[in-house]
Amino acid sequence: MSSLREVAKQANVAVSTVSAALNGTRPVAAATRARIELAAADLGYRPNLLARGLVSKRTGILALLYPAPNRGFGLTEMQFATSAAEAASEAGYHLLLSPDKSDPVAELRHLTGVGLIEGVLLMEVRLDDERVDHLVAAGTPFSMIGRTRQPAGISYADIDFAATARDAVDHIVGLGHRTLAFLNHSPDAYAALYGPTVRCAEEFAVAAGDRGVEYLGDLHADSVEQGRAAFEWLATNRPDVTAVAVMNDHAAVGVLGAVADRGWRVPEDLTLLLVLSSVEVARMFHPRLTTLEPPSAELGRLGARMLIDQLQPDAGEGKTPRQQLVPCRLVVGESSGPPRRGAETGVPE
């Protein structure tokens, strides 16, 4: 790799002038800057970001704190990260993915303490999130994909869970259903106050109540086995339920398996919805499932842009934070249908 000194020699200027031109630490004449940039390109010179950061306090690196969920990274999750990375790249920044979840505050202290990053984009946000408290206290620029219980003064982009729940309930009501079971994430996720888990539960209950739909919300499934067990419980104890919404893709696999074992079919005997899953995931099922697709790409880009805006010279301390909610998109698949005949008894006719 070429050095700063070699660029200076080819451009016939001092090393300090090359540094100023490439790092933006002081004005350099346009003609001189052009000659330096041409020499750097010819030699394949790439500046050392850390060394440049020591001088300018700008490294061009952002951190995406995305603790790996227990369910693992899937297509839906990665859409958030890739879209955020694309938005950062378009603005001249690099996005560093940090999936650590064992001690997220310690990870933050390390990243901010060594001067490696300029700002932080938070994901998997909890209603009460210690990472937010740390960043606010440290004065580190950050934004969130998701939001805390009281996000006043913080920029965030999140799903509009109220609108999403209304769309889902309106969909099944339009088909004639009067009962809905909701299979949420695990009790551990709820106890940890993970934002989507808590807000989905609350908003689905409200939407169902507003439309006179009987709602069963105290069910949890984050695996194939749990999905199967949840459906078996419903079939035994509440055979009148004709529509089920599932938060976890693996749980949906279990539900479909249990439905087939009983000799039932989707959607003839049960309407099945995915919640917060991409169309690509829904297409992997047979039948292709109806899904409430999260605006992953839009939220990823919004969160990154909100952070980058804070890093601009004209940002100012008194600037109003940007806060935006975006609903999921209802994509009707082959798993939606009217309630089965004989639903009152639980026995398909």
Judged by average pLDDT, the poorest of 20-24, 40-44, 250-254, 265-269 is 20-24
| Segment 269-295 mean pLDDT | 96
Residue that wins the pLDDT comparison between 210 and 311: 210
8 Å CB contact between 260 and 287: no
* pLDDT over 90 at 98, yes or no: no
pLDDT band at 45 (very low <50, low <70, confident <90, very high): confident
State whether residue 36 is helix, strand or coil.
Answer: helix
* pLDDT over 60 at 253, yes or no: yes
| Segment 49-76 mean pLDDT | 70
HEC string of 163-202?
HHHHHHHHHHHHHCCCEEEEEECCHHHHHCCEHHHHHHHH
CA-angle at 168, arms to 164 and 174, nearest 5°? 140
* pLDDT over 90 at 74, yes or no: no
* pLDDT over 70 at 204, yes or no: yes
Instruction: Report H helices in the chain.
Output: 4-11, 15-23, 30-43, 49-56, 75-90, 104-113, 130-138, 161-175, 187-191, 195-210, 224-237, 249-261, 279-282, 296-310
State whether residue 102 is helix, strand or coil.
Answer: coil
* pLDDT over 60 at 54, yes or no: no
Q: What share of the chain is helix, strand, coil (3-state, %, to 5)?
A: 45, 15, 40
Structure tokens at 51: 């060394």
Q: Which pLDDT belongs to residue 23?
A: 72
Q: Rounded distance, CA 193 to CA 59, Å?
A: 34
- Homologous superfamily of domain range 161-294: Response regulator (3.40.50.2300)
Cβ contacts of 43 within 8 Å, gap of 6 or more? 2, 6, 7, 10
Looking up tokens 């209950």, which residue turns up? 205
Q: Which pLDDT belongs to residue 289?
A: 98
Cα dist from 299 to 60, 67, 186, 201, 319, whole Å? 21, 17, 24, 21, 21
Beta bridge partners of 330: 292
pLDDT tens sequence across 222-251 = 999 999 999 999 999 999 999 999 999 999
pLDDT tens sequence across 100-112 = 667 888 888 887 7
Q: Which pLDDT belongs to residue 313?
A: 76
| Segment 36-58 mean pLDDT | 71
User: Of all residues in the chain, what percent carry a pLDDT higher than 90?
Assistant: 66
- Homologous superfamily of domain range 61-159+296-327: Response regulator (3.40.50.2300)
Fold match flag (61-159+296-327 vs 161-294): yes
* pLDDT over 70 at 91, yes or no: yes
* pLDDT over 60 at 348, yes or no: no
Structure tokens at 251: 């749980």
Size of the chain in residues: 349
Q: Which pLDDT belongs to residue 315?
A: 66
Cα dist from 296 to 78, 155, 282, 327, 344, whole Å? 9, 17, 15, 11, 39
Q: Which pLDDT belongs to residue 307?
A: 96
Q: What is the domain partition of the chain in residue ranges?
A: 4-47, 61-159+296-327, 161-294
pLDDT tens sequence across 139-183 = 899 999 999 999 999 999 999 999 999 999 999 999 999 999 999
- Interaxial angle between packed helices 75-90 and 296-310, expressed in degrees from 0 to 180 and rounded to the nearest 10: 40
pLDDT band at 264 (very low <50, low <70, confident <90, very high): very high
| Segment 197-217 mean pLDDT | 97
What mean pLDDT value characterizes the chain?
89
8 Å CB contact between 185 and 250: no
pLDDT tens sequence across 292-330 = 999 999 999 999 999 999 998 776 666 788 999 999 999
For the chain, first and last CA: distance in Å? 75
